[in-house]
Amino acid sequence: MTPTRPGPLLAIAVACAALAWLIVRETIATMPPLPWTAVPALLLLAIGETLAGRNLRAKITGRKTTGKPLQPIAVARTAALAKASSAAAAAIGGLAAGFGIYVAGMLDKDVPRADAIAAGVTFVSAAALLAAALYLEHCCRAPQPPDDHDDDYSGNGSDRRRDDRHIDWH
């Protein structure tokens, strides 16, 4: 599994923003007010993923030794959750941005102003979830093995050491 790259997340967000803008443009007159229910859900998920990442990183690095031993499949599942959460957060953030961009031109009316505020807060909550998901994915990475130069010492009187990870093809 490769780390999540910003390009695909940005593409998801832009595509969802464009889709939301088009849908809102056609249906704004019949739409109910934008609900706030996504905001607490996104923030709770962001807090949960941040705490899970902190605890997972402590177990992986050996700073926390209490509790059950860490199973590799659990780390893989957590990384998959983080990847899915980052994609979902990009989609929700894009939808909120598209909605907010459309209603930004109507801030002189009460309902569009409330919708713009709801869209802005939803966007910020989605950004928090995106950051937490990327942090959780980062915490799932295995630490670099320590460099053990004593085993690779050439012993011929020089201070030059071999690095088996680098192959010189010349």
Is pLDDT above 60 for 161? no
| Proportion of the chain above pLDDT 70, given as a percent | 85
For residue 144, the tally of other CB atoms under 10 A from its CB is 6
Q: Judge whether 12 and 94 are in contact, CB under 8 Å.
A: yes
Is pLDDT above 70 for 82? yes
Long-range contacts of 5-13 (CB under 8 A, 24+ apart): 8/87, 9/86, 9/87, 9/90, 9/130, 10/90, 12/87, 12/90, 12/91, 12/94, 13/90, 13/91, 13/93, 13/94, 13/97
Q: Judge whether 129 and 45 are in contact, CB under 8 Å.
A: yes
pLDDT for the residue numbered 62: 80
DSSP assignment of 128-146 equals HHHHHHHHHHHHTSPPPPP
Segment holding 62, helix H or strand E: none
Is pLDDT above 50 for 95? yes
Note if the pTM is more than 0.85. no
pLDDT in tens, 34-77: 888 999 999 999 999 999 999 999 888 888 777 777 888 999 99
Is pLDDT above 70 for 149? no
Is pLDDT above 60 for 126? yes
- Burial class of 35 by CB neighbour count within 10 A (0 to 12, 13 to 18, 19+): exposed
pLDDT for the residue numbered 5: 92
For residues 95-119, give the mean pLDDT: 88
Amino acid letter, residue 170: H
Nearest in space to 38 (alpha carbons), one of 161, 127, 125? 125
pLDDT for the residue numbered 170: 43
Domain boundaries, the chain: 6-63+70-139
For residues 96-105, give the mean pLDDT: 92
For the packed helices 38-61 and 110-139, what is the interaxial angle rounded to 10 degrees? 10
